[in-house]
Amino acid sequence: MNRSHTTRYRTVDLLVTVVIGVAFGVAFLGYGQLYTLIGPLTTAFKPAEGLLAGIWFLPAVLAGLIVRKPGAALGAEMIAAVLSMLLGSQWGWGTAISGLMQGGGVELAFLLTRYRRFTLPIAMLGGVLAAILEWGWEKFAYYQEMSWSFSFIMLAFFIASGAVLCGLLGWAATRALAATGALDSLPAGRDRHPVPAK
């Protein structure tokens, strides 16, 4: 079991959370354009857009796995969403609500373990929960006219994408960063340097 030593934020914890959020907030502008580019391909089968969903949840899972403090996942996702919105996201104010749904889903996964487990299954669970909440919001906001059969297919794609593109990819990225020593000053870096048993 991986335990965070304290729930109190240090300056470095806050900085990393903000940096993750800002970096993805900028990157999301470009990723959003992908939806425009593939529009002709998904017009015939709109649920396929769900396969791209997991990338949107990455700030939350990365912050949660790296900082390991209550609120880090939600905070990073909201920073990314709000910044993306302010920079001109094509979804406008709905981007902030998506950030709340996505970050909240990932945060819930860590909360269920009382912020004591930061494993691959928990990261994937976070992606799945984020996917379910985001699908609910998008069904209400963007896809009211979509049939329920197509909507549930989209939900399945959302869940698969959340588990893989958010959970698995986020966990792998965190492990890769930790292996370089870049996270040694953060809770995630303790996995490389476990505290000896007394």
In a domain, 2, yes or no: no
Residue 3 lies in a domain: no
Taking a C-beta distance cutoff of 8 angstroms, is the pair 125, 159 a contact?
no
- Residue 74 located in a structural domain: yes
Q: What is the extent of the structural domain holding 134?
A: 11-191
| Rg, C-alpha atoms of the chain | 17
- Asked whether residue 6 is domain-assigned, the answer is no
Residue pair 76/100 in contact by the 8 Å Cβ criterion: no
| Number of domains the chain contains | 1
Asked if the structure places residue 197 within a domain, the reply is no
Q: What is residue 37's predicted lDDT score, i.e. its pLDDT?
A: 77
**Consecutive 10-residue averages of pLDDT for the chain (198 residues):** 64 95 93 78 82 94 96 97 92 93 98 95 98 96 93 97 97 94 83 53
Spatial contact of 26 and 141, defined as CB atoms under 8 Å apart: no
Closest by CA to 2, choosing from 65, 95, 63, is 65
Please choose, from the candidates 92, 62, 93, the residue with its C-alpha nearest in 3D space to the C-alpha of residue 77. 62
Residue 30: its pLDDT value, please?
Answer: 86
The CATH number that applies at residue 163 is 1.10.1760
**DSSP code of residue 52:** G
**What is the structure's pLDDT at 188?**
81
pTM of the entire structure?
0.88
Domain annotation covers residue 112: yes
The Cα 92–Cα 22 span in angstroms is 17
Query: What pLDDT is stored for residue 60 in this prediction?
Result: 98
- Written as one letter, the residue type at 41 is L
pLDDT of residue 192: 60
Query: Which stretches does DSSP call E strand in the chain?
Result: none
Rounded Cα distance, 113 and 188, in Å: 16
Q: Is residue 198 part of a domain?
A: no
105 located within any domain: yes
Q: Are 2 and 59 in contact (CB under 8 A)?
A: no
